[in-house]
Amino acid sequence: MTSAADTRRSLVTCRAAGELLALDVGSVERVLRYTAPRSLPNTAAWMRGVISVGEQLVPVLDLRERLGLPAAAADDASRIVVLALAGGRIGFVVDAVDDVVAVDPATIEAAPPVYRGLARSYVRGILRRAERLYLVLDADHLVTSQERLALGAAVEELQHGR
């Protein structure tokens, strides 16, 4: 028999440009205080650079800019959410990380048709919680395979000083 606790899904809630966002806790490897990433050559503006996590260089992207939200300078509440994805680890700068919440997956509504193109691929749905709306993101689709290849090449170039 399956209990209600077995069917719940845990989400990490965070904020970017006033938007409430949620990521599946299974994709989140760790949350770090913000430290300025080292710049990567020849990359898009939303690709902030790399940080060292253990022995590995991890690309760091600006989630605000990735989602088409206004850019802002990092502050004391800013965090880097390191995601462990099929294509490797990637960090995203967010304005703040708020909580880990357990929700019934049935309460996550389909994303409205307003999300099209690339945005449609990384928006998993909408969660209504305590009179707030959270955009539930699909971490695996926040970066395309082509972008992952470009990031990998830039990190490789940085590691080998080319």
> For every one of its 162 residues, what pLDDT tens digit does the chain have, with 9 covering 90 and above?
455 556 889 999 999 999 999 999 999 999 999 999 998 777 777 788 899 998 888 999 998 888 888 888 899 999 999 999 877 899 999 999 999 999 999 999 987 776 555 556 788 899 998 889 999 999 888 887 787 777 777 777 777 765
Whole-number Å distance between alpha carbons of 25 and 12: 6
Does the domain at residues 4-159 carry the CATH identifier 3.40.50.620?
no
Cβ burial of 133 (10 Å; 0-12, 13-18, 19+) is: exposed
Q: What is the value of pTM for the model shown?
A: 0.87
